[in-house]
Every structure is written in C-alpha cells, then in structure tokens.
C-alpha cells in the first residue's frame, strides 16, 4: 500500500511551500534551513509528500528520525486505540506520578532491545537531554570515586550552589574533533562538527581528541588506518593524563559509533576496543552516543554491537528513531538519592507507546536483517557509482543502510542534492562534501534502485 515511485509537480520548494514559508518566517524568523512543508496526511512508507503534492522518496527521513516510514498502520492503530487515549491527553511527570502501565511499556519498548550488558534505562525527551544527563551520571560517578564512595560533603553541598569547586568540580568530558552530540551548553561543548552550531556560544574548556581519519574501504587501507588510529589513541591518553594532572579530571569520554553530522566518519572496532580499555584504565565513563546510529540503522540494533567489545560501554544514549530520548547505563552508574537525575517530564510516555509498536514491527518483520541486506546492496551500488565517476565520487562507506559517499566539493554536493530533490529523491548532506543516506528501516532494494536511477539522470545533466 505504498506509492510505487516519486511523482513531481513543481520544483521544490513549490509555490505552496513558498507561501507557507512567508507565514512561518513572520512568526519564527528562523527558517533559512526549511526546505519545504510536508503533507503528512498523504505521506506514506518511504515517500514524503510535500505541500505542493510532490511525492519524494525520502532517504533523509526528518534528519534520520523516522523508523518505520510515514503513517505506518501500527502507529496509526496505537494512536486510535481508545486504551491509549489517556496517555496522549495527560502527560505525567514521570518522576513523580508515572502512568500505571509505564513500567510494563518500558519493558516492552526499551528493555527488550537493550544493548547486551546494559539493563537499566532512563527516559529523557530528546538527544540533547539524553547526552546532558549521561554526562551528569559520569560526573556524579567520578566524584563518588574521588570521595571513596561517600556521599557529598557539607562543603560540596554548599559550594555547588555558588557554582564553585569542590561542589561544582572542574571535571571534564572528552570528545572528538568532528563530533556532534547536541546543542545545549554541555552537549555543544562536546560538539565540533560545524562552526555555525557553536560560534558566539560560551563553551566549557574540555579536552578534544582527534578522531581517526580513515581511508575507505577500510579493509584496503588496514595498515595506514591502524597507524592513524594509534596516533589518535595516543592523543586520548595524553589528554586524559594532562587534564587529570591539572585537577580537571576527565569524568567521561563521549563518542558516536559513526560521526554523523561531522561527515559520516568511521573508525574500526580496534579503535573502539582500545577506547574501552583506556576508559577502564583511567576510570573514565565510556559514553556512546547512538542518537543517530541506534535503532537498527547500522544493521545491528545498536551500532556499537559491531565493535565486539570485551565489556559493554558504560552509558548508551538514544533518541531520533527511538522516538523517545534516553540512555541505558550500567549498575555502577546508578545515582543514589531523589531528584538528582530528574526534571518535570523525564520523557513522554506517549512516545513510549509508539516505540513499543516500532519495536514490535522491527522484530516481527526482521527489519534488522532487512537493513543489513538492503544496506549491503546500497553500499555495493555506491561503490559502483564511484567506480563509474571517480572524479565525482569517493569514499563510499557504510554500516547497514547508514551509508555515505563523498562528492568532489561542497558546491557540487549542493547541486546534486538539489537536483535529486527536484527529481523526487530527498537526500541529506553532512560534513562539508558528503551525501548521507538515512532511509527508514523499511527501505528496500527497489527503493535503492529508484534512487540510483535518479542519480544517473542527475549525473547525465551535469
């Protein structure tokens, strides 16, 4: 019951989108990033219909946040189910008066897909608050170690109210060049993918390590890549040692399995395994940010499962396709006491109802396997594309359908993306010259074929 192919009536944005853009601009004065308005009644499966009736194959999917396609019947049903109505009408403060079915739904929606070794979960509302609270766990855990497991002292409690040490410790979170973790002050201090996200905003002076710059395909350049990763690992150790020695202890290290906003930068499992070791050695919380990679996109439910770690990460953050924000954590990171990890809503149970269905659909339709197979096909075709036009494309790479390819330069990238959209394929960019593919989990080989036909048309025109 999906549409069979794209169908375009105007260029994008069309006249109706442009008209709406004027109204929207007048209200928010912040619309330069708006591409077009969606008609979400008519959108279906992998097809996003816009306000002008243009029907596009969507491989950008609301910045990688649509799990099982538009208007999936299972989600429609969940919203129309009278038994769910009260949760959509009444948003509870989950930390004070959670709805009585919340524990069971958490079990179904989140614990059933918990990463191996991580059995506790805290819900939040978006990627940023998930990352911010994960960092708070790291700080609290580190300070507790430094007090030999004891509770905060009177001096801690007093000085923190003035933002002063020791209560507000000068501790740090280590992040990587090219990383993106969110846009609130803590998360943004760990983000370094694009200057427009950061410029003019106050930031913490926290350590920033180089992220591996690898050559693709990874197997072909194993030796060079290994050398590059070893240099990065050295730098991580140096930074931790240096910051620790200055009393600015590194409480946590945060990393994406694939740097997404930064340009789809991959590293090998060797690199991540070594990071796990370094974190153990220096007692640094190993925080994996799976906001973009999580929920099956990589061909595993969690991308970090690809690393075959000897022991799991300490905290794993999620959002986007998971519909709710949140993070899994190890028992070692349990925070004792009321109101330390807390806020008014602590997530939104109406999103958990939807996620419960998403997880059911993923499991019943073996969508992880679908992503793996479609992903292999997608990557193979991307490699074909770069072989055909080596002056235009390079570095095809991916895990599952979480794929990317570099374009000659930024201007050409924008030209291709715009032409693709006007021919009915909505693709996204990342980094400075990368096309990122972020299809839904129900994206199939025949969808990929449509996309590559469109690529061919676009390239012929250029």
- Contact between 187 and ligand FES (CB under 6 A)? no
Taking contact as CB under 8 A, which single stretch among the options 130-138, 225-233, 384-392, 397-405 is the one that binds its own copies?
A: 130-138
Tell which one of 94, 129, 240, 297 touches ligand FES (CB under 6 A): 129
58 in catalytic set: no
- Contact between 331 and its own copies (CB under 8 A)? yes
The Cα–Cα gap between 249 and 247 comes to 5
Catalytic-role residue among 60, 139, 176, 180 = 180
Compute the residue count for the chain: 462
Which residues in 331-370 contact ligand FES (CB under 6 A)? Answer: none
Is residue 123 a contact partner of residue 106, using CB atoms and an 8 Å limit?
A: yes
Helix axes 102-109, 349-364, angle to 10 degrees: 40
**What is the pattern of x (binds its own copies, CB under 8 A) and - over residues 42-81?**
-x----x-xx--------x-xx-xx---xxx--xx--xx-
158 in catalytic set: no
User: φ, ψ for residue 335 (rounded to 5)?
Assistant: -95, 125
Residue 139: contacted member of ligand FES, its own copies, none (CB under 5 to 8 Å, by partner type): its own copies
Nearer to ligand FES, 44 or 183 (CB): 183
- Contact between 239 and ligand FES (CB under 6 A)? no
The Cα–Cα gap between 118 and 332 comes to 11
- Contact between 112 and its own copies (CB under 8 A)? no
Nearer to its own copies, 35 or 218 (CB): 35
The Cα–Cα gap between 442 and 381 comes to 18
Query: Which residues are registered as beta bridge partners of 429?
Result: 435
Nearer to ligand FES, 187 or 417 (CB): 187
- Contact between 126 and ligand FES (CB under 6 A)? yes
- Contact between 90 and its own copies (CB under 8 A)? yes
Catalytic-role residue among 344, 366, 449, 456 = 344
Transcribe 13-73 into DSSP letters.
S-HHHHHHHHHHHHHHS--TT----B-TTT-BBTEEEBTTS-EEEESSHHHHT-SS-BT-H
Q: Label residue 348 left, alpha or beta by phi (over 0 means left) and psi (-120 to 50 means alpha).
A: beta
Tokens of 439: 């299809």
Give catalytic residue positions: 180, 289, 320, 344
Residues near ligand FES (CB under 6 A) are 125-126, 128-129, 184, 325
């Amino acid at each position: 019951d999906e549409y069979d192919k794209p169908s375009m009536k105007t260029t994008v944005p069309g006249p109706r989108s442009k008209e709406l853009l004027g109204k929207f601009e007048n209200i928010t004065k912040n619309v330069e990033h708006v591409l077009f308005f969606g008609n979400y009644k008519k959108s279906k499966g992998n097809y996003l219909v816009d306000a002008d009736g243009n029907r596009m194959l969507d491989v950008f999917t609301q910045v990688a946040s649509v799990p099982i396609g538009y208007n999936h019947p299972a989600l429609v049903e969940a919203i129309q189910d009278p038994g769910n109505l009260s949760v959509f009408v009444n948003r509870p403060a989950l930390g004070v008066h959670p709805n009585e079915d919340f524990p069971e739904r958490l079990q179904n929606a989140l614990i059933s897909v918990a990463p191996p070794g991580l059995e506790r979960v805290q819900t939040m509302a978006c990627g940023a608050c998930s990352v911010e609270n994960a960092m708070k766990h790291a700080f609290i855990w580190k300070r507790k170690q430094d007090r030999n497991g004891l509770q905060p002292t009177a001096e801690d409690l007093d000085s923190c109210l003035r933002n002063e040490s020791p209560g507000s410790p000068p501790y740090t979170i280590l992040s990587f060049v090219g990383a993106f973790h969110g846009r609130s002050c803590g998360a943004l201090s760990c983000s370094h993918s694009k200057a427009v996200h950061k410029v003019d905003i106050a930031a913490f002076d926290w350590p920033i390590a180089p992220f591996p710059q690898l050559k693709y395909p990874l197997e072909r350049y194993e030796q060079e890549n290994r050398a590059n990763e070893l240099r990065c690992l050295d730098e991580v150790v140096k930074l931790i040692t240096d910051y620790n020695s200055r009393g600015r202890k590194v409480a946590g290290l945060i990393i994406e399995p694939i740097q997404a906003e930064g340009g789809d930068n991959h590293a090998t499992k060797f690199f991540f395994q070594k990071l796990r070791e370094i974190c153990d050695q220096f007692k640094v919380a190993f925080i994996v940010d799976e906001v973009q990679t999580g929920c099956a996109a990589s061909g595993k439910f969690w991308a970090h499962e690809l690393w075959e770690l000897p022991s799991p990460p300490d905290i794993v953050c999620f959002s986007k396709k998971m519909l709710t924000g949140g993070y899994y954590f190890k028992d070692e990171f349990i925070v004792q006491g009321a109101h330390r990890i807390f806020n008014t809503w602590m997530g939104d149970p109406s999103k958990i109802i939807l996620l419960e269905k998403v997880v059911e659909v993923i499991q019943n339709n073996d969508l992880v396997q679908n992503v793996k197979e479609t992903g292999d096909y997608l990557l193979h075709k991307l490699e074909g594309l770069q072989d055909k036009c080596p002056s235009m494309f390079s570095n095809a790479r991916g895990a599952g359908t979480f794929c990317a390819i570099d374009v000659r330069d930024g201007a050409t990238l924008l030209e291709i993306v715009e032409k693709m959209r006007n021919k009915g394929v909505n693709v996204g960019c990342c980094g400075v010259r990368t096309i990122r593919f972020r299809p839904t989990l129900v994206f199939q080989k025949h969808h990929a074929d449509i996309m590559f036909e469109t690529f061919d048309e676009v390239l012929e025109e250029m």
